Structure 1
Amino acid sequence: MADELDILRRANPVPATDPRFHDRPLDQHAQRRLNRLLHGERRSTSPRPLRRWVWSVGTAAAVGAVVLTLTLSGSTTTPAVAAPRPLIVEAGSTPVPLDRLADRVTASGSQRLVQGTHVQTWSMSLTSGPGARPPITLPAERVVRWKADGSHTELVVATDPRHPGRPVVTDADPVPRTVEDGHVLSRRTYPPSWSDAPPVARPPHDAERLRAYLDEIDRLEAMGTSELLDAVAELLNNWTLGAREDAALVRVLADAKGLRPAGAVTDRLGRQGQAYVYEDTAHSARRMLVLDPRSGAVLGIEDTVTKDDPEYGVKAGDVMSYSAWMR
């Protein structure tokens, strides 16, 4: 235990001076970092590579919980926990380079910047060690709305638009279980609060300042392409971007190294998009960014594992997480 405490104290993933963590639970970004510290590489004791993907949308404590394989009914029923398949690029579609898309996108649209978000997520929950159970995929929808007085509400619902009306698996309790489609997992109201630190601070709408803003979100690591995508997700989990911010973000992404155009895709909400793929070889992951080909808005980010990992029961091609942002 002392070793884990030393790691946490040195990393300080939730500094007391950071207003993002006042009077609210950890967000997904903080949870992911906490779980990477708890379950990832310990330089002094383990030669194994850092496991980026050992995380859950539940509380940090739930990562170690025993996961049960749940089914809708009977032994012949398709498991309710089946992971979504990776998005497939349309055969014969023409990839659009990011710099060309950035030149095409204008900041003159009617969409305005709004504090708050509406996002659908699918996240893999993993366990390892003796008694570990197969991974399960947890779908949820989250709506955050801010009010003029600085207060805001957060509504989280268990739902999967791929299977409307069917029961949904959730880890809202210590042991995963099925609930009705549309079941409210949490409904919270937060008191007024203000911050000048990203991602709560208002994002700028020019590329250079937006890049610095995103860099400030991810303070623990150098800003590579994978870290940039993490920061973009964190931004979109707090703000619905306007046309000017969308245009600036596409310009920032166009400068990212290793983010290659892949072609047209249809996302999990049925929207047409352009896919851009980053091969994160250091973490055996493939990251796909989906952009609206007209406005440049980020439609989604998909993380797929590229190497089997028997310890956690994942195979190459498994979708570890997917976020689809809506307006």
Structure 2
Amino acid sequence: MKAILLQQRGREGVAYTSCDTPVLSQGEALVRMEAASLNRVDVYMRESGAGITHDLPQIMGVDGIGRIEKINGPSSLKVGQRVILYPYRFCGTCEFCTQGDQPLCVNAKIFGEHCDGTFATYIAAPTQSLLPIPDHCDGAQAASIGVAYLTAWRMVFTKAEASAGKTALIVGAGGGVACASVQLAKLAGCHVIATTTGADKIDKTLKAGADHVIDYQKENVVERVLALSDGQGVDFAIDNVGEATWGSTLRALKRGGKVVTCGATTGSHPSADLQRLFIRQLSILGSTMGSLQEFDRLVRVFTSGQLQPVIDSVYPLSKASEAFDRLEDPQRFGKVVLTMTDH
């Protein structure tokens, strides 16, 4: 089969090559991949991978969709069925799994991080990590929800407790998770304020569902947020940018507000601003992906047509290097997707 193999760190270490088709263990299904999306963690794995237990070479890719070709063991799934991958291999028996919080599984392995991933013709995946998805669903959109939209779902609905009437600030809305957060916060009935820069991204962010977009290169974000919220600030903020925006994000929160983060693109050591935290009783919440139950809810919302993921571009698997370049392009807006065929 063909795959995108990370052989060593750096751009030159990523190869489009032939690999052996995986052999199934008990409880696994062989999935012929249809499409998968690129995520920031793929760049992190290519450049560093520090803190993630894995061995090279390793097939890249965290999420995606495909069709079952073989099943080893009893399952409610069927050969030929189209499925979407939940990004985790989880044990199902630890304290967190039994509580339904699989992202905290002490034995968790994430595709493309701890084990072979989805940028391949085939993947062997536990059947418990596969959910059916209808044939009518757009392949590129379906392949995009496993990481970015699941991460955004947990942040917006579970952590921030978004609901109608609340005001949300989404920082850096051009990224995959942030763009997804704009859509989901709007779906929840929130008044959505987003930040980005450039006329094209501003227009696309408005089309994604933002009520107001602040150009952070031309405007004072805090002043604009306060002006748009009658001087109160926002109920919650989604900020994955990190050091560059952290201070302004905290100042944009109303009393008792929340900031939720799943990343630190510009650095992971911002000022804690402790006085502001305790005087205004702010909450800082960390989040990573989502549970299997949250994923099921997300998939149901997507398949019902209530959510249409924003796709920036689609590349064949053999053009993965170009897809990586597009992922890192400042003009990129939405998800970059790989299809497993060159046709």
**TM-score of Structure 1 vs Structure 2, range by shorter chain:** under 0.3
Q: TM-score, normalised by structure 2?
A: 0.23
Q: TM-score, normalised by structure 1?
A: 0.24
Q: Give the structure with the larger helix fraction.
A: 2
